[in-house]
């Protein structure tokens, strides 16, 4: 039997075995702690038939290891574009993204695939499981692609992941044969297949009923407690107000960074003089805009 978190295990908010940063850029802007996600002056301009469209403007963001961050904002405010900028799905027009100590821009395409496979798990609103593979085969796939773990143990590891998210009994079914909630759980298991330190989720509960959304959220909370760093884009105000740090995007800029433990983040608004219920009501009113 092996420990699913053996590679990623750490004390909350601290990487247990991280070497000191080799480049000072990594250690700046996060109160002395090396940021897990470090975005500096990111802008994104799309060239369209109607002309240039600025989707993100001068985004600075530092997310520490073990943080759980929600990004909220109206449709079209730039949330998915933001995710694309630090997952290597797309390139910023300006600025730097340093994620898990790696300068994203420096990676070529094959390095990017390998790096992403080991460092990032990505969960989407519509699950995006491969329909021709069973749930367990979907979870094994990233292990095969990255060549992590001995081939003989990949299936057992994948089964552990499915058990962790509560769908082990559905392992040999195809995605179409299980509910949306179970598909999303399997997609989370797939995102965790290579035990990445970071989980990024773009509207992960957007296609689920509220009870199922609640179970997915509880799963994220458990993963943060295990040491994962999670950035979740959501439209769900009820869920967002339960996340310790909530960032609001409007027209490609952050208009608020509300942090329940503001002291660690130089850019966060300090709400430490407020009681927790008051903080929550501030967050609710912000996401209600």
- Binding positions for ligand ADP, rule: CB under 6 A: 46, 48, 53, 55, 73, 75-81
What's the CA gap between 15 and 29, in Å, rounded?
17
How many binding residues for Mg ion (CB under 5 A)?
Answer: 2
Partner from ligand ADP, Mg ion, none contacting 46, C-beta within 5 to 8 A by type: ligand ADP
Q: How far is the CB of 267 from ligand ADP (least distance, A)?
A: 20
Q: How far is the CB of 56 from ligand ADP (least distance, A)?
A: 8
Partner from ligand ADP, Mg ion, none contacting 227, C-beta within 5 to 8 A by type: none
Structure tokens at 14: 């601290």
What's the CA gap between 112 and 158, in Å, rounded?
23
Q: Which DSSP state fits 34?
A: P
Nearest CB to Mg ion, comparing residues 10 and 79: 79
Residues 69-128 that bind Mg ion (CB under 5 A): 79-80
Nearest CB to ligand ADP, comparing residues 10 and 79: 79
10 Å CB burial of residue 190 (0-12, 13-18, 19+) is buried
Residue closest to Mg ion when measured from CB atoms: 80
Nearest CB to Mg ion, comparing residues 30 and 80: 80
Q: How far is the CB of 139 from Mg ion (least distance, A)?
A: 25
What pairing do the DSSP bridges indicate for beta strands 94-99 and 102-103?
Answer: antiparallel
- E-assigned strand segments in the chain: 37-48, 51-63, 68-72, 94-99, 102-103, 120-124, 198-202, 229-233, 245-250, 253-259
Partner from ligand ADP, Mg ion, none contacting 259, C-beta within 5 to 8 A by type: none
Q: How far is the CB of 77 from Mg ion (least distance, A)?
A: 9
What pairing do the DSSP bridges indicate for beta strands 253-259 and 51-63?
Answer: unpaired
Q: How far is the CB of 76 from ligand ADP (least distance, A)?
A: 4
Strand partners, 272: none
Q: How far is the CB of 189 from ligand ADP (least distance, A)?
A: 24
Partner from ligand ADP, Mg ion, none contacting 78, C-beta within 5 to 8 A by type: ligand ADP
Nearest CB to ligand ADP, comparing residues 127 and 149: 127
Nearest CB to ligand ADP, comparing residues 30 and 87: 87
Nearest CB to ligand ADP, comparing residues 86 and 149: 86
CA nearest neighbour of 174 among 216, 136, 126: 136
Structure tokens at 143: 């292990």
Please report how the helices 135-146 and 180-191 are oriented relative to each other, as an axis angle in degrees rounded to 10: 20
| Cα 144 from chain centroid (whole Å) | 22
Binding site for Mg ion (CB under 5 A): 79-80
């Amino acid at each position: 039997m092996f420990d699913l978190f053996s590679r990623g295990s750490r004390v909350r908010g601290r990487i247990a075995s991280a070497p000191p940063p080799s480049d000072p850029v990594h250690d700046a802007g996060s109160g002395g702690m090396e940021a897990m996600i470090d975005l500096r002056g990111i802008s994104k301009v799309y060239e369209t038939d109607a002309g240039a469209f600025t989707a993100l403007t001068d985004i600075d963001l530092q997310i520490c290891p073990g943080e759980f961050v929600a990004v909220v904002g109206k449709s079209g405010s730039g949330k998915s574009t933001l995710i694309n900028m630090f997952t290597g799905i797309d390139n910023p027009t300006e600025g730097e993204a340093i994620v898990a100590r790696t300068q994203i821009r420096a990676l070529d395409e094959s390095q990017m695939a390998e790096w992403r496979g080991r460092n990032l798990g990505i969960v989407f609103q519509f699950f995006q499981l491969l329909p021709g593979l069973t749930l367990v085969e979907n979870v094994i796939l990233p292990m095969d692609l990255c060549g992590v773990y001995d081939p003989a143990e990949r299936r057992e590891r994948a089964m552990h992941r499915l058990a962790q998210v509560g769908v082990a009994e559905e392992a040999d079914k195809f995605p179409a044969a299980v509910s949306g909630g179970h598909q999303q759980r399997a997609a989370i298991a797939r995102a965790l297949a290579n035990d990445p330190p970071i989980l990024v989720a773009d509207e992960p509960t957007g296609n689920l009923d509220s009870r199922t959304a609640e179970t997915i959220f509880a799963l994220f909370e458990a993963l943060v407690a295990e040491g994962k760093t999670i950035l979740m884009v959501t439209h769900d105000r009820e869920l967002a107000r339960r996340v310790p740090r909530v960032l609001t995007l409007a027209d490609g800029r952050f208009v608020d960074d509300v942090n329940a433990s503001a002291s660690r983040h130089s850019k966060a608004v300090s709400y430490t003089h407020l009681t927790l219920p008051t903080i929550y009501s501030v967050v609710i009113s912000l996401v209600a805009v």
